Amino acid sequence: MSAHDMKSAVPSKASSLPRPKPPRKLKAILTGLIVLLLLAGSAIKTESSFSELFTGLPNMLDLIKEMFPPRWSYFDDITGAMLETIRMAIVGTTLGAIFAIPIALLCASNLNTIKWLSYPVRFVLNLIRTIPDLLLAALFVAIFGLGPLPGIFALTIFSLGLIGKLTYEALETIDRGPLEAMTAVGSTPMQRIIYSVVPQIQAHFMSYVLYTFEINVRAAAVLGLVGAGGIGHYYEVTLGFLEYDKTCTIILFTLAIVLFIDWMSTRLREKLL
């Protein structure tokens, strides 16, 4: 404001020159209003209130107090379930990765020029990725019954969606040179894939598989909540019996394993790329 006043106080030639207009504020104000409306509506819909949070906080502090110290002896009981969790993640990721390879090849527009084949596959791939993993697990539990098997299937489908998409996008950016050279010497499509596509894509693919594995370990740790095997089942058991110190052991154990696997996978991925 003060700068403006100064300008108008000094009558000079400069003030008569056309000055650039500042950007319109209207758009920003409207966007802000819409966001505020959305927030207010959401707060009403979810019955959020600070007072409830403040009255609830002591409960939560009590809960956290009861969680400490964690019961370390509970480790022995949940190690088996933890191993099962990791196993589910490994098997699910691997199966998903294997199924993702043909799907990605079908989706990549530079390798598969048949449009009526690639578009439906892409559509299905996008559809798969909209369904959250826990929801898939709940569905598979309804189909196959309780146990790690539905969890593995859910992770397989989830991995298929993620690895398939990342890989087909990487496939579309590969160098065409080797492909054309091999076509020129009369190779079959299979030979072209093995000798000119695979060498270009394998490091990326491995990196995506590792990344998906990281996500799947986290997911597998909670799949048990819907009955799909793994350590998640023990949350319900311990919380149901109000044994919060045991819950704390589970949480800490999961944190340690997940952080370790993340660290290892990140190092491997750095080496790959």
Partner 1 sequence: MSHPHASWEHRVKKPPVKKSRWIIAGLLAVVYIWAFSGVPLNGFKETALQVTKAIASGIFSPDWDYVYLPDGEDLLRGLLDTLAISILSTFISAVLCVPFAFWAASNMSEWGITSKTGKIILSVIRTFPEIVMAILFIKAVGPGSFAGVLALGLHSIGMLGKLFAEEIEQIDCGPTEALIATGANRIQILWYAVIPQVLPGFLSYTLYRFEINVRSATILGVIGAGGIGTPLIFALSTRNWDRVGIILLGIIIMITLIDLLSGAIRKKLV
Residues of this chain that interact with partner 1 (CB under 8 A) are: 35, 38-39, 41-43, 45-49, 52-53, 56-57, 59-60, 63, 83-84, 86-87, 90-91, 94, 126-127, 130-132, 134-135, 138-139, 141-145, 147-149, 152, 218, 221-222, 225-226, 235, 239, 251, 254-255, 258-259, 262
* Least Å from the CB of residue 255 to partner 1: 5
Q: Which is nearer to partner 1, 86 or 106 (CB)?
A: 86
Q: Which is nearer to partner 1, 105 or 163 (CB)?
A: 163
Q: Which is nearer to partner 1, 71 or 218 (CB)?
A: 218
Cα–Cα dist 30/7, whole Å: 30
Contacts 24+ apart (CB under 8 A), 62-67: 63/244, 66/244, 66/245, 67/244, 67/245, 67/247, 67/248
| CB-based contact 143:154 (threshold 8 Å) | no
Strand extents, DSSP E, 130-215: none
Q: Which is nearer to partner 1, 196 or 254 (CB)?
A: 254
* Least Å from the CB of residue 145 to partner 1: 4
**DSSP-assigned states of every residue in 11-68:** --HHHHSPPPPPPPSHHHHHHHHHHHHHHHHHHHHTT--HHHHHHHHHHHHHHHHHH-
Compute the residue count for the chain. 273
* Least Å from the CB of residue 60 to partner 1: 4
**DSSP-assigned states of every residue in 221-233:** HHHGGGT-SSTHH
Torsion of CA 22, 26, 31, 32, to 10 degrees: 90
* Least Å from the CB of residue 119 to partner 1: 16
Place of tokens 């790959």: 272
* Least Å from the CB of residue 16 to partner 1: 28
Q: Which is nearer to partner 1, 111 or 227 (CB)?
A: 227
Q: Which is nearer to partner 1, 70 or 105 (CB)?
A: 70
Through-space distance between the first and last CA atoms of the chain, rounded to whole angstroms: 53
* Least Å from the CB of residue 196 to partner 1: 18
